[in-house]
Chains A and B, each alone.
Chain A
Amino acid sequence: MLLLSGGSLAEHLDGALERLEVIARTAIGNDQRASRGCLGTELSKENYFGAGGQPLHYLERIRAAYPISLHGVGLSLGTTDSLDGDHLRALRALIARIEPGLVSEHLCWSSVAGRHVNDLLPLPYTEEALSVVCAHVGEAQDAIGRQILVENVSSYLQFSHSTIDEWDFIAEVAARSGCAILLDINNIYVSAYNYGFDARRYLNAVPPSAVGELHLAGFDLADGLLIDTHGTRVADAVWQLYGEAVHLFGALPMLIEWDSDLPTLAVLLQEAATADRLQEERHALAA
């Protein structure tokens, strides 16, 4: 079910490839579902937008053994610019080369007037933003010839002119554009804490048929806000929310994002085991 890797694997590739293979082998040994292709790795696609060389050679080695999910951070679905044609072409070429199982991006924006900030910035949830995002998701899906998943981001501010709740916004993006939803349970928890909404309300508002993947991660607390750092263990409250998500959405590909302050393999495997146990408990309950 699980595999765990950082979004910025390229920066740690030398050690990470070994680590990844160890995790994968261990998980195969413990989990028959792995043989049905549930096991995989998720990689930030922009790290492989180079035309060649070591990053792509490592990626191909990983791909030869495991399914891959390409997870994007730079397409800027919410920009009022046109989507970057070069970026879409690079994505299409990488998809052709790697044949990933899943391709995902974020519900955010990161560029305007040709200027990029290379960060996941929050959108105002308005009808205008909904039109912009849906048009860009459609354009991206047409350009690469397949469905993408769109992920909810953690955020640290809201815009006062927003008229739509985030959960309704992302559901509407999926309904209008035909994309799937990558639900990041930690991001829901972080944003719920930061703004004081009920994380369960979010989970219950998302159409289960649209959800195609789940993410988990650790956060830090700084100056009264939760910050999505991908550098710590998953919090207990987030595990609890994950259990509810599994109940609502069933068994889905799940990824624990951990890409700063990388832990030992033993810690990663404990996290993976916790996720597995929660899935099994939910399945047992349902049976």
Chain B
Amino acid sequence: MPSLHELELAFVRAMFDATDRAAEAFVCAHGMASAARLAIYRNDIMHNYRAALSDVYPVVKRLVGDDFFRFAAERYIPRHPSRHGNLHDFGGEFAAYLEHFPPAAGLPYLGDVARLEWCWHESFHAADRCPLALDGLRTVAEASLPSLRFELHPSCRLLASPFPIDRIWQANQPAGGEIATVDLAAGAVRLLIRRRGDAVEIESVGTAEFALLAAFARGVPLQDALMPAYAADARFDFEAFLIKRASDATLVGFVVATNVSRTIGPATSPGLRVV
């Protein structure tokens, strides 16, 4: 008689490897073979995971077609098992998997398109936060400004790609018909993916702004975060950036020097000078 743990291990192995038959010995046949009974669960589980991947990666599916998507998904699923009881957390490594999936080698942008769809998925479910109240910055001592750490909205994701993945994504939306063709040689993109209200938006941003947002996302203090931004564009206008990104809730808070959080409240009149 197997222990419960032994049974569970054998059962799960059988779910992802039909040639692993150890669990069959524990199952009553009852007029139907044990293997066939286990296959009901295996088919159900694979169906659920394929459906979960289809929900998160509709553009990838459209680019490669249903049959190829299923082929790729069925190879991905056993190699990257779910680690959570929440199915929404499943599928985060699909982009990296596709990038090194030899049958997909002809679509070099596929991995980045999948990455964009995962960013969209994460952004959709991320926490809500109020926009940054710029008034709060007035109370910060001038000497502390260089060490400010700005917080991005929890739904913000930053993604750079050598391919025009935003246009590929747009052209493959159910209602995205206005883009008929995408020039793959159009050059690199730097994208900010974030939610405004309930709607996820994908915005192409400049090199300097992307560098600054990426530095904020890593918790880099303002003074150091600005260096790569100015290196990318010496005329980068930080004040305009601050006003715009506070009002669209990309920035939601800031932390002064140590760990004192100075958030929040609805945004009021912007307009102070920080630099």
Contact = CB atoms under 8 A, between A and B. Distances in A.
Interface stretch (B4-12, B171-179, B219-227): B4-12
A42 interface: no
B274 interface: no
Contact of A223 (B36, B41, B127): B36
Interface in A156-210: 156-161, 194-196
Interface in A208-231: 223-225, 227
B7 A156 contact: no
Given A157-B34, A225-B32, A46 B88 contact: yes
Contact of A119 (B27, B45, B86, B124): B45
A132 B154 CA distance: 37
Interface string A15-53: 000000000000000000000000000000011011111
Given A118-B85, A159-B28, 9 more contacts: A46-B87, A52-B125, A52-B127, A53-B126, A110-B85, A113-B8, A118-B52, A157-B40, A157-B41
B7 A159 contact: yes
A193 B52 CA distance: 30
A11 B9 contact: no
Contacts of A159: 7, 26-28
A150 to B, nearest CB: 16
A183 B18 CA distance: 33
B84 to A, nearest CB: 6
B1 interface: yes
A52 B85 contact: no
B44 interface: yes
A112 interface: yes
Contact of B128 (A53, A73, A115): A53
B1 A80 contact: no
10 closest cross-chain pairs (CB), A and B = A74-B85, A50-B125, A51-B127, A52-B128, A112-B8, A157-B37, A54-B198, A80-B5, A116-B82, A52-B127
Contacts of B44: 119
Given A53-B155, A117-B82, A161 B2 contact: yes
A156 B37 contact: yes
Contact of B8 (A11, A52, A90, A109): A109
Contacts of A117: 12, 15, 45, 82
Nearest to A75: B85
B235 interface: no
Given A52-B154, A116-B82, A117-B82, A157 B27 contact: yes
Interface size class on chain B is 35 or more
A50 B30 CA distance: 42
B48 interface: yes
Given A55-B125, A156-B37, A118 B27 contact: no
Interface centre among B15, B37, B195 (most CB of A within 10 A): B37
Interface in A74-104: 74-76, 78-80, 84, 86-87, 90
B32 A119 contact: no
A124 interface: yes
